[in-house]
Amino acid sequence: MAHDASNQSLMQRDLGVLWHPCTQMKDHETVPPVPIRRGEGVWLEDFDGKRYLDAISSWWVNLFGHANLDINRALVEQMSTLEHVILAGFTHEPAVELAERLVRITPPALTRCFYADNGSSAVEVALKMSYHYWRNQGQKGKTRFITLANSYHGETLGALAVGNVPLYKETYEPLLMDTLSVASPDCYQREPGESWAACSRRLFADMRRTLERHAGEVCAVIVEPLVQCAGNMRMYDPVYLRLLREACDEFGVHLIADEIAVGFGRTGTLFACEQAGISPDLMCLSKGLTGGYLPLSVTLSTENIYQAFYDDYQNLTAFLHSHSYTGNPLGCRAALATLDIFQRDDVITANKALARRMAGATAHFGEHPHVAEVRQTGMILAIEMVRDKASRTPFPWQERRGRRAYLHALRKGVLLRPLGDVIYFMPPYVINEEEILLMADAAWEGIQLATRD
Ligand SMILES: *Cc1c(COP(=O)(O)O)cnc(C)c1O
């Protein structure tokens, strides 16, 4: 049966059958979900033709705009050739070529690609691989993971256990494995006059102490390099990663870099680890991997880790993890088309100018009486609203100030999705100057409105 779609009808049908992610569904009694009919570039359009600037890249996945012609073309071709094939015992060109290219462009020690189909799964793979590596080495006492306060690594139980955002984690605590949590290098905590580097270096002491005390029972340290995105876009200095790499080597512990959100140019370099000049033992990628088109993820490992699983079958050392859609050809093809755009358009260089424009458009935000900090790492810019600027006292969370800014920006035609009271921009890389100004205007007005009593 054909339904004539309109904003109203789609909202109603949606509320009859859907359960939305990360949503208190009762909120939709007053604010229904926004029905989107089509997308183009940074724009999303509803059934009345109202447009929304996607300032958060649809949960950080989109890199080169919606309905991107190059990615579309690559997918149409792939779809008519091979949509999917089992990756156990079989292989295909997109999976091989993508792995070759990822090995080439990621930090040098990473030589192997294990595919999965979303970010959380890539994290689960990394955790299992690390534990299993030590087990294969005869070190069965290594069963724990070290994680940073305020970190986020996904929502499945293993990934949730190594994260530390209470809002997502607390409810499920009884179901989660026990982890060792150490101070975050978050530079929002820096002392007056302290540099980012000095702050992150000072906060490393807790990590070092924990490694000294627990290395014998620890498989790996897992971190989000440079930006704790879901943890309110808190940022830190690359020096922390350098110190961590050295310490992990010293204490015989793996370093897992979760670049699911920060990979593919978000922090100003293709991968955030580059800014510290380090190579992790395991690296998780997803989100921007397919340019925001299809769910695909990859966990890259060093040759050393790979070799610890490589043996006669009878020795039972193989990594027997799988997902039905592992290495899906359409996802891999979208990823290849995305990498082609990075190369063809010298995106990393072009983004430097975009990042400067975002900084320029928000230069006055820091003076707002309820803005504690405007912080930026590459193509991620965040604005933290507080009740009291001098003491950095937050607004009571129940007041949902960020939500007020969200609703205002929506009316203005800009999709922001504040994390609590932190408004941030993480736009597709095809945004232009005028659109940056529009995005900043909507945020500024949203802040005025949200912080008024
Ligand atoms: C989004 C995210 C994940 C989880 O990815 P999903 O595809 O949503 O499961 C893991 N780690 C980080 C750092 C993320 O931002």
Q: What is the pLDDT of residues 252-262, one digit of tens each?
A: 999 999 999 99
What is the pLDDT, as a whole number, of residue 453? 84
In this structure, is residue 295 part of a structural domain? Answer: yes
Distance (Å) from CA 65 to ligand 1 centroid: 20
User: Which residues, listed in sequence order, are joined to residue 423 by a DSSP beta bridge?
Assistant: 383
What is the pLDDT, as a whole number, of residue 1? 45
Between CA 170 and CA 160 the distance in angstroms is 10
**Mean per-residue pLDDT over the chain, rounded:** 97
Shared-domain flag, residues 182 and 103 = yes
Over residues 149-198, the pLDDT tens digits come to 999 999 999 999 999 999 999 999 999 999 999 999 999 999 999 999 99
Q: Is 123 in the pocket of ligand 1 (CB under 6 A)?
A: yes
Shared-domain flag, residues 55 and 161 = no
CATH number of the domain that residue 305 is part of: 3.40.640.10
CATH number of the domain that residue 412 is part of: 3.90.1150.10
In this structure, is residue 1 part of a structural domain? Answer: no
Average pLDDT over residues 297-326: 97
In this structure, is residue 433 part of a structural domain? Answer: yes
Q: Are 423 and 405 in contact (CB under 8 A)?
A: yes
What is the pLDDT, as a whole number, of residue 5? 86
Average pLDDT over residues 310-337: 97
Shared-domain flag, residues 159 and 301 = yes
Q: Is 224 in the pocket of ligand 1 (CB under 6 A)?
A: yes
Shared-domain flag, residues 91 and 233 = yes
Over residues 192-245, the pLDDT tens digits come to 999 999 999 999 999 999 999 999 999 999 999 999 999 999 999 999 999 999
Shared-domain flag, residues 221 and 331 = yes
Between CA 451 and CA 401 the distance in angstroms is 7
In this structure, is residue 263 part of a structural domain? Answer: yes
Shared-domain flag, residues 196 and 327 = yes
Q: Are 60 and 426 in contact (CB under 8 A)?
A: yes
Residue nearest atom 3 in ligand 1 by C-alpha distance? 154
Structural domain boundaries, residue 425: 36-67+347-450
Distance (Å) from CA 154 to ligand 1 centroid: 5
Shared-domain flag, residues 212 and 330 = yes
- Residue where one domain finishes, among candidates 345, 366, 398: 345
Shared-domain flag, residues 235 and 294 = yes
Which residue has tokens 């990823």?
A: 335
pLDDT band at 32, cuts 50/70/90? Answer: very high
Q: How would DSSP label each residue in 392-411?
A: TBPPPGGG-HHHHHHHHHHH
Neighbours of 352 (CB within 10 A): 12
Q: Where are the alpha helices (DSSP H) in 252-344?
A: 303-307, 329-344
Tokens of 409: 């920006």
Shared-domain flag, residues 187 and 328 = yes
Between CA 151 and CA 118 the distance in angstroms is 18
In this structure, is residue 125 part of a structural domain? Answer: yes
Shared-domain flag, residues 129 and 244 = yes
Distance (Å) from CA 77 to ligand 1 centroid: 29
Nearest to residue 342, comparing CAs of 70, 53, 115? Answer: 70
Over residues 358-396, the pLDDT tens digits come to 999 999 999 999 999 999 999 999 999 999 999 999 999
Q: Where are the alpha helices (DSSP H) in 65-148?
A: 69-79, 93-105, 119-136
Residue nearest atom 11 in ligand 1 by C-alpha distance? 153
In this structure, is residue 19 part of a structural domain? Answer: no
Neighbours of 203 (CB within 10 A): 22
Shared-domain flag, residues 228 and 333 = yes
Percentage of the chain with pLDDT > 70?
99
**3 pLDDT more than 80:** no
- Sequence-distant contacts of 156-163: CB under 8 A, at least 24 apart: 156/120, 156/121, 156/123, 156/124, 158/123, 158/124, 158/127, 158/128, 159/119, 159/120, 159/123, 159/124, 159/127, 162/123, 162/127, 162/222, 163/230
Shared-domain flag, residues 351 and 330 = no
Task: Provide the number of structural domains found in the chain.
Answer: 2
User: Which residues, listed in sequence order, are joined to residue 396 by a DSSP beta bridge?
Assistant: none
Distance (Å) from CA 227 to ligand 1 centroid: 13
Q: Are 64 and 435 in contact (CB under 8 A)?
A: no
In this structure, is residue 93 part of a structural domain? Answer: yes
Q: Is 153 in the pocket of ligand 1 (CB under 6 A)?
A: yes
